[in-house]
Amino acid sequence: MFRIVASLLVCALFCPVDAYAADRQFDSCMDRADGITSEMLGCIGEAQDRADARLSNTLSKAVRSISPARRASLSRSQDAWIAYRQANCDFLADPEGGTSASLISSDCWLSLTEERVAFLDTLVDHSTVLLR
């Protein structure tokens, strides 16, 4: 059983995630943006809103999937992850990096959020093994 749990965790942590695979609206918006930074940032912002909603929904599912004793641990984990996302993506927003730095920072936020959603989805899907 330990091998199964370890395999699932390794895959959840290291399997590549196509952050935008399910977000056709994002792809369409970016096509219309035609390389204009402000338009691209708008597309990323809209995708961030959708990703944040998915994160909230998936986190709620994870909370419902675990024992009350584990909920505080998940909450601490989520708080630490949010701090990491903020610090990491803020670092990429280099004030001397021009307009591309804001795109890179915004994309960082979106990518990390989508990765977290995928990770939490894996936990929920395998909650009988991973979260009890």
Q: Where are the domains of the chain?
A: 2-130
C-alpha–C-alpha distance, residues 6 and 122, integer Å: 13
pLDDT tens series, the chain, 132 aa: 333 333 333 344 434 444 445 578 888 888 888 888 888 889 888 999 999 999 999 999 999 988 888 899 999 999 999 999 999 999 998 888 778 888 899 999 999 999 999 999 988 887 665 555
Q: What is the pLDDT of residue 37?
A: 85
C-alpha–C-alpha distance, residues 111 and 83, integer Å: 15
Asked if 85 and 113 count as a contact pair (C-beta separation under 8 A), the reply is yes
C-alpha–C-alpha distance, residues 5 and 8, integer Å: 5
Q: Is the Cα dihedral 25, 26, 32, 38 positive or negative?
A: positive
C-alpha–C-alpha distance, residues 118 and 40, integer Å: 24
What does pTM read for this prediction?
Answer: 0.74
